[in-house]
Amino acid sequence: MSTLLIRDVRPMGGETANVLIQDGKIAAIGTALAAPAGAAIEPGGGALLLPGLIEGHTHLDKSNWGAPWYRNAIGPSRLDRINNERRWRTEAAHDPAARSLDLARAFLANGTTRMRTHADIDPDIGMAHIEATMRTRDAMVGLMEIQIVAFPQSGIVGQPGVADWMDEALKQGADGVGGIDPCEIDRDPVEHLNVVFGLASKYARPVDIHLHEPGEMGAFSLDLILERTEALGLRGQVTISHAFCLGTIALSARDALLERMARMDVRIATTAPASNPVPSLAVCRAAGVTVYGGNDGIRDSWTPHGRPDMLDRAMHIALRNGLRRDDELGWALDCVTDAAARGCGFAEYGLTPGCRADLVLVAAETVAEAVASVPPRRLVIADGQIAARGGVLTA
Ligand SMILES: [Zn+2]
């Protein structure tokens, strides 16, 4: 039982208010709220108040965060990176439990209180990365809510054991079923998707498929995914990560796919990369498709880039989409707040009474300024307790 009153903050840049937190939840928000007897009081200093930020697509288990710099000299293709990673993990004795915990804590210091991470399963590591990520998920309980997707990075078909390990991961409490480029990686899209959707049905868990496939190939895979989503009645249970194909195919074909996605509430997770075509945020929003944001891998053997900072990612989404107006910058924040909560299925989310008290205070006048300027996090409250001050963890 704990009570905390945050004084003088501006929720989403609105009027100054006080926020009363009781037992980990927002009890009330109002201008004239007084502190109950025994409550701790925290001055907000007129800061902009945001809900806890959400990382919708990352790979905690791959990261080299907290370890010496990884010297990247890898070939240009996706398969080069996949094979290099499998070699490097063994040679460098990569510790996915320690690295994922370091990275999760860095995210929390910057105000991320919910996260969806994909954990690798392949014939070299079996369940090891799933188990390591589950340890991090357990260690962060009460501060950060982490969803783990069982992710077949090297494919499923022709990868001995992977389908069984994915089944076992879900049995042990993985939160979602992953998949990857059904045509390009497995070269057998029907069998790949039969395994993915079979597991989703068996365990009633959401699906989140990495779809990097370009143009017509990606559109074909997407069509197969939508067909299965509809047939199995999985409305609101499927995410397409990346969906690069929607950035290049003919506009009429794109719009037809978006219409089906909207109808079945199939979401898109975007990292808004500079190097790949991405579906336009404005077009997706107009079509009624939920788009949310993620870093993808951070400082791993795939990429030196990325920061455990979802305001920074929102800024990249805004840049990649050419967003300038204040209301448009609000869309970018939506990608790492409400849309991500909706897309990943995080409950009790937001700045209203009854929601989990996950709050971020920053020195900015408006939401648009926060996205464009990425100010330091003055205070982070997670599950009702003060978790970080000035970007430094206290919890
Ligand atoms: Zn990814």
pLDDT at 277: 87
Distance 135 CA to ligand 1 centre (A): 20
Ligand 1 center–CA 244 separation, angstroms: 13
Mean pLDDT across the chain: 96
Question: What letter would DSSP give residue 356?
Answer: B
pLDDT tens digit sequence for 321-358: 999 999 999 999 999 999 999 999 999 999 999 999 99
Q: For residue 218, report the distance from its CA to the centre of ligand 1, in Å.
A: 16
Residue 393 makes CB contacts below 8 A (sequence gap 6+) with 105, 108, 109, 387
> 118 C-alpha vs ligand 1 centroid, how far in Å?
7
pLDDT digits (tens, 9 = 90+) for 231-271: 999 999 999 999 999 999 999 999 999 999 999 999 999 99
- CA dist., res. 393 & res. 386, Å (int): 9
What pLDDT does residue 238 have?
98
pLDDT digit string, tens, across residues 278-309: 889 999 999 999 999 999 999 999 899 999 99
Residue 264 is predicted with a pLDDT of 98
Q: What share of the chain is helix, strand, coil (3-state, %, to 5)?
A: 35, 25, 40
Which residues fall within 8 angstroms of residue 72, CB to CB, at 6 or more apart? Answer: 301, 303, 304
184 pLDDT band, cuts 50/70/90, is: very high
DSSP 315: H
Percentage of the chain modeled with pLDDT above 70: 100
Query: What's the N-to-C CA distance of the chain in angstroms?
Result: 17
268 CA from centroid of ligand 1 (Å): 12
pLDDT at res. 19: 98
- Residue 301 DSSP code: S
CA atoms within 13 A on the CB side of 155: 20
pLDDT band at 1 (very low <50, low <70, confident <90, very high): low
> Are β-strands 291-293 and 267-270 bridged in parallel, bridged antiparallel, or unpaired?
parallel
State pLDDT tens for residues 117-165: 999 999 999 999 999 999 999 999 999 999 999 999 999 998 999 999 9
Backbone angles phi, psi at 376, to 5 degrees: -60, 155
Nearest to residue 149, comparing CAs of 55, 219, 74?
Answer: 55
Cα(210) to ligand 1 centroid in Å equals 6
Averaged pLDDT, 176-186: 97
pLDDT in tens, 209-235: 999 999 999 999 999 999 999 999 999
| 150 bridge partner residues | 119, 177
Ligand 1 mean position, distance from CA 50 (Å): 26
What's the 122 CA to ligand 1 centre distance in angstroms?
15
Centre of ligand 1 from the C-alpha of residue 83, in Å: 16
Rounded CA gap, 40 and 371, in Å?
30
The pLDDT, as a whole number, for residue 79 is 87
Give 347 Cα–ligand 1 centroid separation in angstroms: 23
Cα separation, 39 vs 2, in Å, equals 7
- Residue 368 predicted with pLDDT over 80: yes
Helix or strand (DSSP H, E) at 106: helix 96-109
Query: According to the model, what pLDDT value does residue 220 have?
Result: 98
Residues around the ion ligand 1 (C-beta < 5 A): 296
Q: Which pLDDT score is estimated for 247?
A: 94
Output the CA 296–ligand 1 centroid distance in Å: 5
